[in-house]
Chain A
Amino acid sequence: GAGVSQSPSNKVTEKGKDVELRCDPISGHTALYWYRQSLGQGLEFLIYFQGNSAPDKSGLPSDRFSAERTGGSVSTLTIQRTQQEDSAVYLCASSNGQGRWGYTFGSGTRLTVV
């Protein structure tokens, strides 16, 4: 597609439930990134996929968080047993492999855990 697409745009879930957030990157972009942004705050790096390399998971805050990228394209971020502190906007971005031209961001998924 023309841009990075994220779904759903909004998600309200009950504490303890699992959620899946989806990111469809720009076609041909080999790198995909997940970030979390709490209200009015900066970007918190979560995970980075580059081609067929092992993902950089160094930013995942706990083992309740996981992500996969199937076929080098669509990525799913899964949060198990959600907690209220997981409430944030989850942003996905993609870039070409070199990253020289920066990232293209999706509009994000606003997750609210009640």
Chain B
Amino acid sequence: AQSVAQPEDQVNVAEGNPLTVKCTYSVSGNPYLFWYVQYPNRGLQFLLKYITGDNLVKGSYGFEAEFNKSQTSFHLKKPSALVSDSALYFCAVRDIDAGNNRKLIWGLGTSLAVNP
């Protein structure tokens, strides 16, 4: 069965420091992987995705994520955090071989707090 794990409920980082939000997944085949961000009282916004190709994916707001097949991970990273990056981050996966079942499977979210 497909699953996504975000092992950290909360991540705290100082402004200007690099940040990492972790995500691991389990699918039967090759995955489509996504990161979304939710700012307070807002809907979810797409950040970036991995479908195929280069393992390092660059997305919105300076974020990037690295697909690591051997470790089944897709950690979200940013070289220098901003206070405005403070939000809830969700990782999601879809099995390429999902057939007619094309739902994304979502992690529980990681709350990122960037301290000034």
B contact face: mostly helix, strand, loop, or mixed: strand
Residue from the set A45, A105, A107 with the largest chain B CB neighbour count within 10 Å: A105
Nearest B-chain residue to A43, judged by Cβ: B106
Instruction: Check if B44 is an interface residue, CB within 8 A of chain A.
Output: yes
Instruction: Check if A1 is an interface residue, CB within 8 A of chain B.
Output: no
Instruction: Check if A53 is an interface residue, CB within 8 A of chain B.
Output: yes
Interface size on B, residues (CB 8 A): 24
A contact face: mostly helix, strand, loop, or mixed: loop
| Stretch of A12-20, A70-78, A94-102 contacting B (4+ beta carbons < 8 Å) | A94-102
**Roughly how many angstroms separate A103 CA and B109 CA in the complex, as a whole number?**
16
The residue that B108 contacts in the complex, of A42, A99, A100, with Cβ under 8 A, is A42
The residue that A91 contacts in the complex, of B44, B46, B109, with Cβ under 8 A, is B44
Instruction: Check if A41 is an interface residue, CB within 8 A of chain B.
Output: yes
Given the known interface contacts A43-B90, A107-B42, A107-B43, the answer about A102 and B109 at a Cβ–Cβ threshold of 8 Å is no
**Roughly how many angstroms separate A22 CA and B19 CA in the complex, as a whole number?**
37
Given the known interface contacts A100-B32, A105-B43, A105-B45, the answer about A33 and B51 at a Cβ–Cβ threshold of 8 Å is no
Using CB atoms and an 8 Å cutoff, list the residues of chain B in contact with chain A: 32, 34, 36, 42-46, 49, 51, 88, 90, 92, 94, 100-104, 106-109, 111
Q: Give 9 closest A-B pairs by Cβ, nearest first.
A: A42-B108, A99-B102, A107-B43, A105-B44, A105-B43, A43-B106, A42-B109, A102-B34, A102-B46
